[in-house]
A and B are shown apart, each in its own frame.
Chain A
C-alpha cells in the first residue's frame, strides 16, 4: 500500500513538528480516511525510535593511536593564551603557586601504567539511553547543546557499574573487584598523605612525579574496574 505521494512531505513535517496547528488539523483529517498514510506515519515513528537508539559511538577496528602519535611532534599543540604570562615553574605541570593553600595537582595519564591500555576507556558498544535503575544518559549531539561527551559516557559507564553492583548478578569477578577496591584505598590514602604534607609546607615543591603517578594509578584502577564489567557486558551481547 503506497502512501499518498503529495502527503509525504507533510507527514514528514508533522513528525518533525514543523506544521502549524491548522496544517496539522488538515493532516489528521486526511489520516482518518487514509490507511496507507497512517501506516507510513507509524513506520516513520518507528524509524525515528530506532534511529534514536543507534550507537553514538563506533570503535574503529584497529587502534588508530600509533598513526596519530607519529603525527603529533610535527604539529605542536596550541598553548592556551591565558597561560603564556605565567613563570616557567608554574606553567610546568605540578608547579606550586605560592599563594594557593592547596597543591595544584595535575593528572598525567600515561599510555600504559599500572593496567595495560589496549581498549578504550569506556565500554565499547552502544551507550544506551536507559539503563535499569539509572537516569537517562544524555549523549552529545553535535548539532544541539553539547554535553561533555566523555563525561556522559563516563557517567553511563558508572551507571552501568552501579547497576551491576546493585543487581543480584555480580560482576565477572567479585574477588577482582575487591582487590581493586582495596588497592584504590591504598592509593587514596597515599594521595591524602601527600596532600597533608603539601598543606603543611606551602611553597615547597611537591615531587610531581610521585603525585602524577598516584593520580595515574587511581585512574587506571577505576578504568580497570569499569573494563571488568564492560567485558562482562560485551560477552553477554555476543
Chain B
C-alpha cells in the first residue's frame, strides 16, 4: 500500500503539463482542469452572485472565458488564483448588469434573513453557516465572502465593488452581526 502512496506523490509534476496541453487547444486537457477547479469556481459564483440561481450559468461563463484567455494564464501555483480572480470578475460584472435591470434591491431567494430586526427562525435552531451566508443581503454577503472567506482587504474589495474601504468595513461588520444573530448564540 505504501507503493500506491508513493505513486500518488509522483503524480504531482503531471499537473503542469495539463495547462500546456490545454493552451495548445486540447479540450480534453481543459476538461481535466475544469474538473479539478469547478468546485472552487462554483463556490465563488454561488456565494458572490446577486442571484445565486445563476451560479451554474456563471460557472460555465468563467470557464469559457478562461479558455479564451488561457494563453495568459500563469502556470503552476498561480493557476488556481487566476481562475478565482476571473470568477470574481465575471460574477461581479453580472451582478452590476442585474442591478441595473432591477433598480430595487430584491430580497434573496431564500429570504432567510430579513434586512433588519430579529431573525425569524424558531429560537434555539442553529442554522448552517452556508445557508446563513446565502441569506445575507447581497451587499453584505459579497463583502463578507470576499473578506472573511477569500481573504481580500478592504481596499481591494472597495475597488472590486465600487465602494470606499470604509463602506466595505461597515458592510463586513453588518454581515458578521447578522450572521451571529442567525446562528444563535
Contacts and interface: CB of A to CB of B under 8 A. Distances in A.
* Complex: A in contact with B (CB within 8 Å): yes
- Determine the interface band of chain A, counting residues with CB < 8 A from chain B: 35 or more
A144 interface: yes
B9 A158 contact: yes
B101 interface: no
Contacts of A58: 39, 42-43, 46
Interface residues of B, number: 83
A97 interface: no
B114 interface: no
A60 B55 contact: yes
A198 interface: no
A69 B26 CA distance: 11
B38 A77 contact: no
A110 B28 contact: yes
Interface in B150-185: 150-153, 156, 169, 172-173, 176-177, 179-180, 183, 185
B172 A12 contact: yes
Contact of B77 (A65, A110, A144, A148): A148
Nearest to A53: B129
A103 interface: no
Contacts of B125: none
A93 B21 contact: yes
Interface string A54-67: 11111111101101
A58 B133 CA distance: 14
B15 A111 contact: no
Given A75-B67, A93-B26, A124-B39, A54 B21 contact: no
Q: List the 7 closest A-B pairs by CB distance, nearest first.
A: A78-B71, A146-B81, A149-B80, A57-B39, A143-B152, A142-B84, A58-B43
